[in-house]
Amino acid sequence: MHLSEQQKTALHNGEAVRTRDKDLECVVMRADVYDRVKQLLYDDSSWTDEELRRMLAKSAEANGWNEPEMDAYDNYDDEMAKQCR
């Protein structure tokens, strides 16, 4: 990949440079700038219990588990125990 002097100057000043290498469009930036941007966009730390509970609740709601018709599942074990007596 070849960069013009203007592109090299932009990189030196901390700017990202959009360029093309054959059919591949790329954005080139200094490693220190990339590291800062990556921290803003991607968090690879472990999820907290609160975050996991929130995601589970959101997933359950999105899949209809909060609908009144689903109450039968909440009482399933009790109902099965009654039938086995």
Supply the DSSP symbol for 1.
-
The Cβ of residue 53 has, within 10 Å, a number of other Cβ atoms equal to 11
For the residues 4-11, what does the mean pLDDT come to? 94
Domain residue ranges in the chain: 5-41, 49-84
Q: Could you tell me whether strands 24-28 and 17-21 are parallel, antiparallel, or unpaired per DSSP bridges?
A: antiparallel
Q: What is the pLDDT of residues 24-40, one digit of tens each?
A: 999 999 999 999 888 88
Q: What is the pLDDT of residues 55-83, one digit of tens each?
A: 998 998 888 877 887 777 777 788 788 88
Per-residue confidence band for 13, with pLDDT thresholds at 50, 70 and 90: very high
For the residues 16-21, what does the mean pLDDT come to? 92
The Cβ of residue 44 has, within 10 Å, a number of other Cβ atoms equal to 6
